[in-house]
Amino acid sequence: MSPDIFKPDVEEGAETQDGQESQENETQKPQPKEDFKKLSSEVSSEIPAEIFTETSLDTPANISTEESAKENRTPPFLKFSNVPCGTPENLENINKAIQEAFTINKDFIAKRADRLGIKFNAPDFYIPIAIKESKLNNSEVSSSGAVGYFQITKTAVRDVNNWFEKDFTMEEAKTNPAVNALLGILLFHLYKDRYSVQNKLNFASDKDRELFATFAYNAGIGVSMEMWKNLQVTTYKEFESEISKLLIKAHAPFIQESADQDKTANDYNVFIRLPYSQNFFLKMLAPLTINRKIIEAGGQLVTTATLMEALNFTAVISSIRSGNYAEKNLRGPSN
């Protein structure tokens, strides 16, 4: 295969993971704490022991439930039990899907990932994306046709296939949780570790690169890269601030500068903080006009809804990862 596969044209391969928000699921009722105790003590023999990590392809990046029981520790993925959709069953299923994802064509994908400069994280790093995208419902299908845990689109499948010389299909993404997880993880890392490098974006830290990739996962990589470059920022905080200023300028008084305080994202039970706030009373007067208005952001024409959605998407995932919960111990033990 031509080495050009590792340098596809950005306009061809950098089309976007759809930015549409997943349809809202009903908040799931908390489960008894006994379910977590049972999950912590049982051995899940179906979860493979070998998964990718940042340092080794043969070293588990996640402690097993058996090890947890022996050492009286909670499996890492149970730290998301404070999210309303984070039932024991949901968390075990998404953890299993992610671990199984890393066994699919393991050696082949590992070689491609190494050549692309990609290093993978432990499974629990990716769970917040699935929480925000689908509320851990692998049957979720958005109005735009995105499917599964990681809300995979046809463009996402094409991107991953182009870079990794694979032939995954939308049908697999829809019916196989492990394939869905693998596509989402590979796409995230293409945004974080490949497109941003190929297009010479400057980041102050790897954390800023991670937050940029999270924003791009929702808004789309092409528009996100152009905004980052044209706004001449190096940190995600600067990026978020500049976009917020544009939103406020375009929509005052519907959108206003925010006081320096946390707000609760109720569907996820986390505090988030954004540089802007919405006057919901005024917004009710003209919601479609506001959401559909196209504004210029870093040389790109983007709808207000796309920008606000991506900023919120990134803030919620970041808060879930950091455990910034509004209500602690929503159900059972958590880290």
Rg (CA), the chain: 20
Is 111 in the same domain as 207? Answer: no
Is 51 in the same domain as 146? Answer: yes
Instruction: Classify residue 283: in a domain, yes or no.
Output: yes
How far apart (Å, rounded) are the C-alpha atoms in residues 67 and 42? 10
Is 57 in the same domain as 124? Answer: yes
Is 54 in the same domain as 167? Answer: yes
Q: How far apart are the first and last CA of the chain?
A: 46
pLDDT of residue 289: 60
pLDDT of residue 67: 47
Give the torsion sign (CA, 238, 217, 80, 66): negative
Single residue among 164, 198, 232 that ends a domain in this structure: 198
How far apart (Å, rounded) are the C-alpha atoms in residues 250 and 271? 26
Instruction: Classify residue 256: in a domain, yes or no.
Output: yes
Q: Do 68 and 75 touch, CB atoms closer than 8 A?
A: yes
Is 194 in the same domain as 205? Answer: no
Instruction: Classify residue 36: in a domain, yes or no.
Output: yes
pLDDT of residue 35: 53
Single residue among 198, 229, 260 that ends a domain in this structure: 198
In the chain, how many domains are there? Answer: 2
pLDDT of residue 135: 97
pLDDT of residue 281: 63
pLDDT tens for the 335 residues of the chain, in order: 333 333 444 343 444 454 444 333 433 434 444 454 455 444 333 433 344 444 333 333 433 444 444 455 678 899 999 999 999 999 999 999 999 999 999 999 999 999 999 999 999 999 999 999 999 999 999 999 999 999 999 999 999 999 999 999 999 999 999 999 999 999 999 999 999 999 999 999 999 999 999 999 999 999 999 999 999 999 999 999 999 999 998 887 788 888 667 889 989 999 999 998 877 665 555 555 666 778 788 788 899 889 999 999 999 999 999 999 998 877 654 44
Per DSSP bridges, beta strands 270-272 and 276-278 are: unpaired
Is 206 in the same domain as 193? Answer: no
DSSP state of 151: T
Instruction: Classify residue 334: in a domain, yes or no.
Output: no
Residue 252 structural domain: 201-329
Is 148 in the same domain as 208? Answer: no
* Residues whose CB is less than 8 angstroms from the CB of residue 225 and which lie 6 or more positions away in sequence, other chains included: 10, 14, 195, 196, 199, 201, 216
Instruction: Classify residue 122: in a domain, yes or no.
Output: yes
Instruction: Classify residue 335: in a domain, yes or no.
Output: no
pLDDT of residue 22: 38
Is 171 in the same domain as 216? Answer: no
* Residues whose CB is less than 8 angstroms from the CB of residue 15 and which lie 6 or more positions away in sequence, other chains included: 155, 158, 159, 220, 221, 222
pLDDT of residue 73: 65
Single residue among 178, 198, 218 that ends a domain in this structure: 198
Instruction: Classify residue 146: in a domain, yes or no.
Output: yes
What is the SS3 assignment for 270? strand
Residue 16: alpha-carbon gap to chain centroid: 14
Is 183 in the same domain as 208? Answer: no
Instruction: Classify residue 280: in a domain, yes or no.
Output: yes
Is 134 in the same domain as 192? Answer: yes
Place of tokens 């599964």: 148
Is 231 in the same domain as 141? Answer: no
Is 54 in the same domain as 84? Answer: yes
